[in-house]
Every structure is written in C-alpha cells, then in structure tokens.
A and B are shown apart, each in its own frame.
Chain A
Amino acid sequence: MSDILQVRGLTKRFGGLAAVQEVDFTVRTGGITGLIGPNGAGKTTIFNLITGVYKVTSGTVTFEGKDITNTEPYLVADIGITRTFQNIRLFKNLSVFDNVLTACHASAGYNLADSFFRLPRFWREEKKLREKALELLTILGLEDRKDAIANGLPYGLQRRLEITRALALDPRLLLLDEPAAGMNPDETEQLMHLIGEIRDRFKLSVLVIEHHMDLVMRLCEHIVVLNFGQKLADGTPEAIRGDRHVVEAYLGGGDE
C-alpha cells in the first residue's frame, strides 16, 4: 500500500504566529483520510499549503513521490490535486453547466488560434468538453439543473457542484474542505455515500476536513487530528476514538 501524499515537517508562520507547526502525515492511495480538529487548528491552512495558495515556511509536500512544495496553485491542479473551499467559491453568476465546463478546460486540446478562427479542432474539442461536463453533471445528479445560475442553487447542491467542478480536472487526490458544513443529517448521509462512490468510481484518494464526527468516523479509514497547528494523533477511527488526548481536546463527548 503506497502513499499518494506525504506531508513532512510542514510549518507555516504568519509573522509571529505559527498556524501550522511541524506536521507530518500521509494519505494512502485510494484511501479516504480525515483531517479533524477544533476551529483554528490549521486544517484549511494545510490545504492551502498543499495546493500552493500559501508558501510554506518550512517542510515538504510530496505527491506521488515528487516534491511539489510551493508549486503554483494552477500547476497543482495539473499535477492531480484539486479541492473545494470551506466558504463555497463557485463562479456564482455562471450557470451550473458553465461552472463545470470552465473547469474542463484542461482536457481541451485547442489553442488560441483555433478559438479565434474557429478551426475544425476547436469544434471537435469543444464538443468533447461539453460532453464531459454533461457526463459529470449526470453522474453527480445535477444535470436537470444544468442551466440554473449557481448562486440560486440550494446550499447542499452548491457544495455538490463545487465537488463536480473539482472532479472536472481528473484529479487523483481530492481535497474537500468541510463539504458537509450546514447540511442536515439526511444530506450528510447522502454526501457520505457520494464521497465513497466518487472514490470508487473515479479511483481517487480523498483528504477531507470535517466537523461532522459521525461522517468522519464512518467514512474515513484513517484520521489525522490537529490542535493548535500541531498533530495530536494519527490512526484508525477506533484508535482516535479511544485516544485520551483527542477526546479531551476535541471530542469531549459533545456531538457535531
């Protein structure tokens, strides 16, 4: 069993504040790993570090054996890692279809001249893009809303759209930042199945930040716990559930 992602000694300082400090963990290929911890523990910061949105203060990020530390965000997507955002960042004024279509751009083989002069290659490749976008929407159950404006979708579907968009780039590792935020138990259940299905169907690995504990416990095969920017624990759901430090710092008996 190999690791698709390795994070070693990852540290990020903002001025005097260390948001993330010497964090090590791995994501196994084909697995679903959860990243949990109280608010402010540094989880989204780690996503930002992995995807190149923030530059690391020190440490490395290795993907499929290659060092990708501090790669530009758009290249990170090319390399095979895509993500969703905690506060949804859809192209709000575009239609559902256009949101996904735009993200499909990477698979298009035509260049500027082809667009300008509408050469045959443009029509061929553009058709392929549209088919791909439609296919993805259908798989994710959004094709009946494809012409709706993204902003007008109900919250749960917006999140699903963001995931669809992330899939459009044919990633091998999908980073989900609190995908179940604001969802009721029913929707959360659906989401859980969806993530599992996506993993199986697209042969991905998934790293998910979440606060919904039952989602995390049931979905993830491996969990990493962060607190105050440092790794607190790392292991299977059972191990984590039983870990005293984790329970004190985070799980505390309350349910989320």
Chain B
Amino acid sequence: MAQFLQQMVNGLSIGSVYALMAVGYSLVYSVMNFSNFAHGGVIMFGAYFGFYAITLLKLPFPAAFVLAFVGTAVLAVLIERIAYKPLRERKAPFLYFIISAMGASIFLENIIIATIGPTFRTYPDVFGRTSIALGPVSIGRLDLIMFAVSAVCLTGLVLFVEKTKMGRAIQASAYNMKAAALMGVNTDRVVMIVFALGGLLAGIAGVFFGMKYTVYPQIGNITTKSFVAAVFGGLGSLPGAVLGSVLLGIIETLVAGYLSSQFRDLIAFVILIGVLVFRPTGIMGKTTEDKA
C-alpha cells in the first residue's frame, strides 16, 4: 500500500510539471484555436534561461526563476509577432499556422544545438536532495516546491481569467474573436497577453523540468506528452488540462512501476488513441459545431 501511495505521489509530481506545460498550451489553443507546436521550444528555452541565470549570472534562485519566466514570456510573444501575426492578418488557412509553428519549433531546437551544443546539462542543487517524509511516503523537497509553485500559478491563472477585466476579455475572445472585437476588446492585445501567459507558464515548467531531470535541446519533445494530457483533459479547457496532466502523470508512473518502465512513454500514446477514439473532446472538453 505504501508503495502505491508513493507511486501516486511521484505521479502527482510529474503530473504537476505536465500540468504547467499543458495549461500554457491549452490557453493558447482556447483563444487562438490552434495548437502552438512551438510551445515545447519555449519550455526548453525556459530551462536554459534558468540554468544560465544560476550558473553564469550567479543569481540566487528566486531571481533566476523570475528571469527565466519573464524571458520565456517575451520569447513567446516574439514568436507570435514574427511567426503567427502576419498569417493572422492575411487570414491564412489553419494549415499554414501549424506549419509555421513547426518551423519555429525546429528553429528553436536547432539554434540551441548550433550555438550552445547538444550536451546535457544539470542544474546545480538548489533545494538539496533531501526528502521529506509525510507518513508512509517521502517526497523530495524539489517536488514539494514544484507542486506548491504549480498550484499557486494555476490558481493565480484561474483567478486572473475569472476575475480581472483582461481575463474576461480573454474568455470572450476564446469564445468568438470577431464578436469580442466588435464589443471593443483589443483582440491584438489579448492575443499578446495570452501568448505571454503561455510563455510564462512554459518558463516555469521548463525550469522545473530542468531541475528535476536535465537540460537538453530536445526537451521540446516531452511536450508531446503535455499535448496528450491537454487532449485527454479536453483541449481548450484549463481545468481539463490540469486534470489530464495529473492523471497522465499518475497513470504513467503506476504503469512504469507495476508493469515495466519500457511502457512508460508508450502509455501516453495509448491514452491518446483511446481518447481520440472514444471521447475526442476529452474529459472536460466542449463540443463545437461549425457555423455555416
């Protein structure tokens, strides 16, 4: 039983990282109605920003952390301006956005490989490797902090979207861009803020991922799992993204623990196929019909 609980806790901790990644992605999807495949690259940059802030700039962790997510927020907005905005203005077909996103993601991954190099880097030990015992389970200090920060961020995001004026503008735009614009919402600003938020969350996720594992240019590929998580929970629904991620993390860890670690990555895809076949809108997703 203790082992089961332990696995649950482990699953939850990886799930919270996935959640941060998935929420940023889901947020952009809900407003822009397209999958920002460059999101992975931004997460990866977050990991690198944090890493260099600590090692090169010798900043204390809180400062490095802030630097990282501010950096990724800016990066995300830059990507939007350069790769997506021109297409939006031309009313380009949806296919072009995806291709452009792919181009951005290739660029991000390879600019790191070309400049800094593909070697793995490890974050210095910021929180110490000690674990805290909570009854029958132990949880690493890092995991605990990650969990706490994620919870704070996600709650903050929900409050922002529900309670603030800009948050409501985002909701309106998510529902219908044109109508929101007609109601006086500055949709361009909304898009920018949405991407900035997504980038912010990506940065946090990146730093945590780097700290928990290692830093390497292909971190972007892990985001495939967060896509799966977002779809699982329901694309476009933020609580869904969180739920999907946590569930994915737990299921993955349980499978790896009880069946075989070889299946760990595969299970994500099995879930994906399952979701797409049986319930494409995910656990909490909404169905939409095309308006003629």
A interface list, Cβ under 8 A from B: 14, 44, 47-48, 53-54, 85-86
Q: Between A and B, how many residue pairs show CB distances below 8 Å?
A: 9
**Complex Cα–Cα for A75 and B292 (A):** 17
State A14–B290 Cα separation when bound (angstroms).
12
| B-side interface residues, number (CB < 8 Å) | 3
9 contacts between A and B (CB under 8 A): A14-B289, A44-B292, A47-B292, A48-B292, A53-B290, A53-B292, A54-B289, A85-B292, A86-B292
User: Chain B interface mostly helix, strand, loop or mixed?
Assistant: loop
Residues of chain B within 8 A (CB-CB) of A14 are 289
- What's the Cα separation between A47 and B290 when bound, in Å? 14
Query: CB-CB < 8 A to B292: which residues of A?
Result: 44, 47-48, 53, 85-86
* Closest chain A residue, CB of each to CB of B289: A54
Cα-based distance from A111 to B290 in the complex (angstroms) = 31
With the chains together, A48 CA to B292 CA distance in Å? 7
Q: Contacts of A48 on B, CB cut-off 8 Å? A: 292
6 further A-B pairs in the complex, CB-CB below 8 A; given A44-B292, A47-B292, A86-B292: A14-B289, A48-B292, A53-B290, A53-B292, A54-B289, A85-B292
Residues from 266 to 292 in B contacting A, C-beta threshold 8 Å: 289-290, 292
Q: A240 → chain B, closest Cβ, in Å?
A: 26
CA of A133 to CA of B134 in the docked complex: distance in angstroms? 76
CB distance from B188 to the nearest CB of A (A): 23
Cα distance A235–B288 when bound, in Å?
A: 36
How far is A14 from B291 in the complex, measured between Cα atoms in Å? Answer: 11
Residues of A within 8 A of B289 (CB): 14, 54
Name B290's closest neighbour in chain A (CB-CB).
A53
Bound CA span A86–B289, Å: 17
Q: How far is the CA of A86 from the CA of B292 in the complex (A)?
A: 8
